[in-house]
Chains A and B, each alone.
Chain A
Amino acid sequence: MNELAIKDLLYKLADDQLILGHRNSEWTGFGPILEEDIAFSSMAQDKIGHSLAFYTLLQELGEADPDTVAFTRNANQFHNSQLVELPNGEYDFSLIRHFLYDNAEIIRFEMLSQSSYEPIAKVATKLKGEVKYHVLHANTWIKNLGTSTEEAILRLQASLNEAIPYALGMFEPSQYEQELIEAGVYAGEEAVKVEWLKRIQAVIEKTDLKLPDLNTIEPKFGGRHGEHTEHLQPLLDEMAEVFKIDPTAEW
């Protein structure tokens, strides 16, 4: 198996989870109700834990240790989708992003748990149960709020329209796509996208929200090869603020 292809996949998975975990953690102390503060913190902890697991696999393949990889790279070295780096905005945007992202993430984890590449299969099998709860949380809230007040529905619809091009950006194929599919690592981004669409449609149909016509939308690609919005670098600078005081120190 081409090691570069595996590394590329691992970086995508790890960086997505790290950056969204970081964003989720920004809700601590600011949630619309205490229960949501706590829920977003739980998901943040899971996601950052998942990123650590994937960075650890990368380390086993010869990359630097997880702290160095996470805390010292610049934005153009990150492989996350642009969706996860966008600021939290209001709760409606964070919820919609969480819904769109985790419904795709669970499919990746399900596929990867069957992967021919055993180290990923093991990690994905172990962690997919946690992602399942994230999906359950997102779907429950979308169904609740998406059928509630006009105000809530308008907000969610606006956020859905705003997030969709970025969500489609998650499925940007990598240069190794064909190789990964042929080697049985996973079924590839197009397959994830098809299944994702089915699942999010099934939830949205139960609400007063409308999925925009995806054929008319240009996906926001670029994140997977280091092209990011202006929001990622400040996030990374903040994350590394203390670490960089002395990267060799034990904190």
Chain B
Amino acid sequence: MYGGGNVFEATKFDNLQTEDPAKLAEFEARIARGEKIEPNDWMPELYRKQLIRMIEQHAHSEIIGALPEGTWITRAPGFRRKMAQMAKVQDEVGHAQLLYSAAETLGKTREQMLTDLINGKSKYSNVFNYPAFTWADSNIISWLIDAGAIVNQMANAKGSYGPYSRALERICAEEAFHLKYGHDAVVHMATGTPKQREMIQAALNRWWPPIMTFFGPSDKMSTHTETLMRWKVKMASNDECRQQFLDMYVPKIWELGLTVPDPKLKKNMETGQWEYTEPDWDEFKRVINGDGPCNAERLAVRRTAEERGAWVRRALLNPKAKYVKPLA
């Protein structure tokens, strides 16, 4: 999981004039040639700022995203699922660790990023502000949210910032397993007892609207993406990702005899594009700005974990140690 940091907020690109034009031109030429930008290379301040924001939000999405599925670790039915659910959620926490390191190479410490998360200053993927009511919800997250994340991250893995792109390659390899796990769990539910089928359909109905907003507002509504695309920070538009996701997964959902709760959903054979009910972007904005079903709970859990663990971090702190950026 969970990708797509850049969809939450974009940096305003109104102030590139302060950069050295020669350096900026060389930087853009390197990116155009397909070179990776490394931590000690020259980069425009806006590039640095946007990447920190994006990688940080991605990292936050991993640890906050571990919560809705994490609550089902202790309740997973049977050894096979229990072991897999633990390993899956552990991977997500591992991704956070990897991503915080990647963001640290740009000059912001993990501690500062976590503080900004708890204070509500930086965002995480909006879907995790929705609850996982049942085991089936957890299965839908494992399958379809991870699927969405892969679409997003495969694109961003081709981005220009070396440490982020390398982190994403590793993350995608693990996500591929999550996808198999999630699909297998959903298949068992969808082909199981009437009760299991009912549980999985209900979960899909609950999660479909958040899934449709996962890739961010439609391209008509998002701005400032041109420079991000040129700098290979953003590699595919929100709508492109959404279309690709629908193309890959709606047939698989239908194949299982499940229905998608959107009467308008169909593929237009002439345009090759999926048509769907426009997601409720007002709700999206409301939730991302703090007023969703689980925002307060998610941050409270994170805050409690930070507070309860503070003595451990204080104890580990060596006053003589000097801060060193991680290698990534």
Residues of A with Cβ closer than 8 Å to B? 22, 25-26, 28-38, 41-42, 44-45, 48-49, 52, 66-67, 70-71, 90-91, 144-145, 148-149, 151-152, 155, 238-239, 241-243, 245-246, 249-251
Contacts and interface: CB of A to CB of B under 8 A. Distances in A.
A90 B311 CA distance: 11
B225 to A, nearest CB: 31
Nearest to B196: A249
Contacts of A245: 77, 195
A45 B73 CA distance: 11
4 A-B pairs closest in CB distance:
A32-B309, A32-B312, A41-B90, A148-B315
Interface of B is mostly: helix
A144 B309 CA distance: 15
Contact of B93 (A37, A44, A67, A239): A37
A145 B100 CA distance: 24
B320 interface: no
B257 to A, nearest CB: 16
Interface stretch (B62-70, B118-126, B234-242, B279-287): B62-70
A38 B62 CA distance: 13
A28 B66 contact: yes
Task: State which size class the interface on B falls in.
Answer: 35 or more
B151 to A, nearest CB: 25
16 contacts: A29-B70, A30-B304, A31-B305, A32-B312, A33-B313, A38-B94, A41-B90, A42-B90, A49-B83, A144-B315, A152-B312, A152-B314, A238-B75, A242-B77, A245-B195, A250-B188
A251 B313 contact: no
A155 B68 CA distance: 30
B138 to A, nearest CB: 10
A48 B195 contact: no
B298 to A, nearest CB: 10
B96 A34 contact: yes
Interface in B40-83: 63, 66-67, 70, 72-79, 81-83
Contacts of B67: 29
Contacts of B72: 242
B87 interface: yes
Given A25-B74, A152-B312, A34 B86 contact: no
Interface string B300-328: 01001100111111111000000000000
B164 interface: no
Nearest to B114: A34
B245 interface: no
B63 A29 contact: yes
A227 B188 CA distance: 37
B193 interface: yes
Contacts of A38: 90, 93-94, 97
A67 B80 CA distance: 9
